[in-house]
Amino acid sequence: MNSGTNRRGRWATPLGGRAGKVASGAAAMLGALAVLSTGMAPSAVADDVRPQQWYLDKMLADRLWKVSTGKGIKVAVVDSGVNPSTPSLRGKVLENDVPAAAAYGATKDYGGHGTSMAELIAGSGAGGGLQGLAPGARIIPVRVKLDQLKDKAERKKTASIPQGIRAAADSDAQIISMSFGAEYPNAEETSAIEYAAKKGKLMFAAVGNSGDKDNFIGFPAALPEVVGVGASDETGTVGKFSQSGDYIDLAAPGVNVPTWCDATFQQYCPGKGTSQATAIASASAALIWSAHPKWTASQVLRVMIDTAARDWPKNKPSKYLGYGLIRPAQNLIAGRGNPGAPDVDPITNEKTSVAGSPTGDSPSASVPASSQPAKSTSGGETAAAGSTSKSSSNGNDQLWLALGVAAAVVVIGGGAFAVVRARRSG
């Protein structure tokens, strides 16, 4: 991995160099991500999908929900639309909260992907449907033009990705979940992301599903204001398809995670993808934010980073799993994680635009100050040489996956990875 692949290196200027080849129509944003989520033969019907959600037990969901269900948190799902009529989503989709700019077709899912992501976040599990990790959260559906939308008339009426992101930013959603990506940045999309960040939104995006192929840098996940999410399996090992690079911030379950097969909503299919990982990461943030409603996006993200499962130094993130695997139980059950300053970026330690936001919850006396991310003197952090693609739980193993011994072997790729992680700087 060379220095040209860091957050603000070769891709620092949205329209410069190779990045100047901006793909038309925001470039096949769903493409590969959706295929891996829904492209396999049906094997799970709606009456038996819950047992396939292995990560809920591994993450101690039943214990988490005694502390937080995500109540009071709204998550904007920018995707193919969300069907509010599936058994799992009834009463959970806020149809009237969608800003006019992206209101067309918001509750008419043209591919099934957006509905799947919404269920993974906030689904009730009713009718044998997907059980969301944050069942108390509510969904704001934002339909945008993705590759699956082929009808020309529908495409003309449907919001573009930048329009959708801006609409999500203008909504009451605290979290914006984006399970799509493309190889090239788009100037309008970049502007929309910056707009949402200034409004204090916490944004998650899929890093991409071609890690075993061309492993391109995925956008919007690679943008400075967005949390790039990779996908792991039941053992905590990164999926071979999950893209790698210094723009990977966190990882979440994304292997053998079922989704709706298509827009007929008749069956669930076994699936894998950073799409699912992004939805589950968004749900984890909703759980934490619900329990600490006066925190800012920076504080929620800082605690997620602080409590992530890893066996490498926190200030040397892995190119496969970033700062590690999400573990909301570490905060919600074990009380770990220091939220720190409300207006300081948790990765670069630079000031953000949300100074003055309320911070009613102060760090607990039981949470050591040393748990805060190490400060960087260069505006970024250096990724580790020999960083791993498998995570080990630090602290109480029962509060994340039962991973066993600490991992030290790179199972995908190899060689050193040492680049300056100048994310969100400059």
Q: Where do the structural domains in the chain lie, given as residue ranges?
A: 3-421
User: Tell me, what's the pLDDT at 162?
Assistant: 98
Does 3.40.50.200 match the CATH number of domain 3-421?
A: yes
Helix axes 113-122, 31-38, angle to 10 degrees: 70
Per residue in 151-186, pLDDT tens? 999 999 999 999 999 999 999 999 999 999 999 989
SS (H, E, C) the chain: CCHHHCCCCCCCCCCCHHHHCCCHHHCCCCHHHHHHHHCCCCCEECCCCHHHCHHHHHCCHHHHHHHCCCCCCEEEEEECCCCCCCCCCCCCECHHHCCHHHCCCCCCCCCCHHHHHHHHHHCECHHHCCECCCCCCEEEEEEECCCCCCCHHHHHHCECHHHHHHHHHHCCCCEEEECCCECCCCHHHHHHHHHHHHCCCEEEEECCCCCCCCCCCCECCCCCCEEEEEEECCCCEECCCCCCCCCCCEEEECECCCEECCCCCCEEECCECHHHHHHHHHHHHHHHHHHCCCCCHHHHHHHHHHCCECCCCCCCCECCCECCECCHHHHHCCCCCCCCCCCECCCCCCECCCCCCCCCCCCCCCCCHHHCCCCCCCCCEECCCCCCCECCCCCCHHHCCCCCCCCCCCCCCCCCCCCEECCCCC
User: Tell me, what's the pLDDT at 180?
Assistant: 97
User: Tell me, what's the pLDDT at 20?
Assistant: 26
User: Tell me, what's the pLDDT at 364?
Assistant: 34
With beta carbons less than 8 A apart as the criterion, state whether 209 and 274 touch: yes
User: Tell me, what's the pLDDT at 76?
Assistant: 98
Confidence of residue 391 (pLDDT cuts 50, 70, 90): low
Catalytic residue set: 79, 113, 275
**What letter represents residue 233's amino acid?**
D
Q: Tell me: pLDDT of 315 over 80.
A: yes
With beta carbons less than 8 A apart as the criterion, state whether 140 and 173 touch: yes
Residue 303's nearest CA partner among 317, 316, 312, 292 is: 292
Q: Tell me: pLDDT of 378 over 80.
A: no
pTM for this predicted structure: 0.80
Taking the alpha carbons at both ends of the chain, their separation in whole angstroms is 22
With beta carbons less than 8 A apart as the criterion, state whether 350 and 425 touch: yes
With beta carbons less than 8 A apart as the criterion, state whether 346 and 298 touch: yes
Distance of alpha carbon 228 from alpha carbon 222, whole angstroms: 6
How many Å is the Cα radius of gyration of the chain? 19
User: Tell me, what's the pLDDT at 345?
Assistant: 83
Q: Tell me: pLDDT of 380 over 60.
A: no
Structure-token match 């006396």, residue found: 365
